[in-house]
Amino acid sequence: AARILHRLRHALAGEGGREEPAGGGGEAEDCPESSELEDDTEGLSTRLSGTLSFTSHEDEDEDEEEDGASEELEEPAQGAAAGAEDGGKCRGGERGGTGMTPLSSAAAPRRDPCDEWGPAAERPGGSLLTRQLQELWRRSRGSLAPQRLLFEVTSASVVSERSSKYVLYTIYLIRTGQFDKAPATIARRYSDFEQLNRRLRCRFSCDMAGVAFPRKRLRRNFTAETIAKRSRAFEQFLSHLHSIDEIRRSPEFLEFFFLPDLRAAQRLTCTGMYREALATWANAYRLQDRLGVCSSGRFLLTLAGLAVCHQELDQLGEAHGCCEQALQLLEAQGSHPLLGPFLQAHVHLAWKVGKDKRRSEARLQDLREAGLPLQQQPSLKECLIKEPLE
């Protein structure tokens, strides 16, 4: 949204008044990824001061220069991405899913929803186009079209360790048309993206032929301009991968997002740091929900982690809800390693919180009659700790 405002301000000021960032002309050779970023040079300063914030000890002067513009152009990260990818709609419930309705043709007073971007009277057919867009939006509200997943780099920080220095990019996964109270986030460095790119090219060489990836640079890796361009390149890279069906469903692509969180959450649970583990399990849950893999074994493991941590923190109602969700997913499966542990945990928690446990007790009885030794079954926590996450 900040980039759209930036362009429109220049368009209203006149065709000849556009200012180019310093050094923008010769950067195409130094930074190969700029060839795939058609609008990056024009909106680079806006990118740095608007939706992208970063910290770098080497570019403190550049940060201070951009602080003045950030107050004017700064937008919430989720709303900015949704608005930009949806074609710059300035009204309507799709932006953030807040339930706002578009202005109808009979509304009073009559005012173009986009008057703040330029008078409609100066554009022939402007009001007609607005009404057409409003009608299209009304018809599309009830459609069954799949929701689009957006990837936005919201921050980038330079991390200095004993023997290395790198940029850590924080990325939000945003579903268009909805407002996420708790966003799904990942934090990855360049080498993580490079490893994903290499693995996907080995398996999907044909599909990956048209996917651009920013190459390594020998110098100026920590400048504001390089960080901004790579941020945009990573957004485009993930969006392009997600648009390809086979890649979107591949384990390599999916586990890039949530497997590090699962490993970290399992490690925290094993060491008894349940509050920290709960936050990590919850983020892994949101990531898998955004990616549409809520019926996989990893998702059941995530529900087990949430149930265990909630129970250890005496949040029994939340733990009971996690077990119920898992049992609904296991409804159609006659046998699963986690079925017995989830049933036993559900019966115990239902007794604690005063909920109905008869269905779970009946399913446990069916398992006993089928010859499953429930007395030797590990608990939900034991299954969680012993699960290998390779």
The whole-chain average pLDDT of the chain stands at: 75
Is residue 307 within 8 Å of residue 282, measured between CB atoms?
no
- Comparing 147-249 with 258-389, is the CATH topology the same? no
> What is the Cα–Cα distance from 358 to 362, expressed in whole angstroms?
6
CATH class of the structural domain 258-389: mainly alpha
Largest CA distance in the chain: 82
* Locus of tokens 């290395």: 164
Q: 251-270 vs 297-312: helix axis angle to the nearest 10?
A: 20
Supply 301's token pair. Answer: 């493991």
What is the residue extent of each domain of the chain? 147-249, 258-389
Residue 21's pLDDT is: 42
What would the pLDDT profile of 176-223 be if each residue is shown by its tens digit? 877 777 889 999 999 999 999 999 999 999 999 999 999 888 788 899
Asked if residues 257 and 203 have their Cβ atoms less than 8 Å apart, the reply is no
- Distance CA(82)–CA(331), nearest Å, equals 36
How far apart are alpha carbons 79 and 88 in whole angstroms? 11
Secondary structure class of 222 (helix, strand, coil)? coil
Q: Give me the residues paired with residue 173 across strands.
A: 151, 184
pLDDT of 67 higher than 90: no
Q: Can you tell me whether residue 268 is helix, strand or coil? A: helix
Pick the CATH number of 147-249 from 3.40.640.10, 1.10.1520.10, 2.40.160.20, 3.30.1520.10: 3.30.1520.10
3-state secondary structure of 55: strand
User: Higher-confidence residue: 137 or 166?
Assistant: 166
Please state, in angstroms and rounded to a whole number, the distance separating the CA atoms of residues 93 and 282.
Answer: 27
Instruction: List pLDDT tens digits, range 330-365.
Output: 987 767 889 999 999 999 999 999 999 999 999 999
Q: What is the DSSP letter of 122?
A: G
Backbone angles phi, psi at 92, to 5 degrees: 115, 155
Residue 272, classified by CB atoms within 10 Å of its CB into exposed (0-12), middle (13-18) or buried (19+), is exposed
Give the pLDDT band (50/70/90) at residue 16.
Answer: very low
Closest CA to 131 of 154, 153, 113, 149: 113
pLDDT tens digits along 101-151: 333 333 344 444 344 334 434 445 556 666 766 676 566 554 444 568 999
